[in-house]
Amino acid sequence: MRPQLLVRILLVLAIGAGLGFATSWAALRNGVAFDLVAAGPWVAAPRLASRARDPYAAAALARAGETPFDLAEGLVFVARADASGAKLDGACVYRVKGPTPPARFWTLTLTDQQGRLVENEARRYGFTSTEIVREETGGFEIVVAPTARAGAWLPAPADRRFALTLRLYDTPSAAAAATLQADALPQLLREQCL
């Protein structure tokens, strides 16, 4: 075999291996899952705790040290965009309102893009179903904004993007997550940007 051909083969193999490692690293870092379910801006991975999960999701969970909900325990929805599809921006004011699927208990928390709680002076990181005043229809309303608001206010980081995480505990909706409609989950409406 000629040395030039051997060098080319080794170069192609090195590039292929580098691209493979780079894409695997990106998938693990960003927590890519292939069996996502979307309902409006809310996205869930209902099979994340099952043995049927994809290998990238399993590796990302192992890397992060997380233990996801089993379908019998609950369901986690994450929103990184509002109802119009625009990324959630801490300099904007949002209204989270409407119903939640039936659940024994739920929480709504504000996190950074990696899922960590965002520090704020009010020390308010989220709300639970037991803290919220309900409307006659059973719905609720929470304002997410960088400055204080009347009512149920969740402080947003004014200088960066964020995500909202809705955890439903002991919910029958977990079994039917793939057919869940957007109107069964709270609306996420942007009002204005400061």
Query: How confident is the model at residue 132, as a pLDDT?
Result: 87
Spell out a b/e string for 176-194, using b for 16 or more CB atoms within 10 Å of the CB, else e.
ebeebeeebbbbbebeeee
Q: What does the DSSP 8-state code read for residue 182?
A: G
Q: Answer for the pair 76, 167: CB distance below 8 angstroms, yes or no.
A: yes
DSSP code string of 78-110: EESB-TTSPBPBTTEEEEEEE---S-SEEEEEE
Does the domain spanning 35-53+67-193 belong to CATH 2.60.120.600?
Answer: yes
Which of 10-24, 55-69, 90-104, 163-177 has the highest average model confidence (pLDDT)? 90-104
As a three-state string, the secondary structure of 103-165 is: CCEEEEEEECCCCCECCCCCCCCEEECCCCCCCCCCCEEEEEECCCCCCCEEECCCCCECEEE
User: Domain-by-domain residue ranges, the chain?
Assistant: 35-53+67-193
Give the whole-angstrom CA distance, residue 52 versus residue 31. 16
Q: What is the mean pLDDT of the chain?
A: 82
C-alpha dist (Å) from residue 134 to 39, 46, 130, 131:
22, 27, 10, 9
Of residues 54 and 126, the one with the higher pLDDT is 126
Mean pLDDT of 10-37: 72
User: Whose CA is closest to 33, among 52, 10, 12?
Assistant: 52
Half-sphere exposure of 21 (CA within 13 A, CB side): 6
Which tens digits make up the pLDDT trace of 33-88? 566 777 889 988 766 655 666 666 666 666 666 666 666 677 888 999 999 999 99
Q: What does the DSSP 8-state code read for residue 48?
A: T
pLDDT above 90 for 17: no
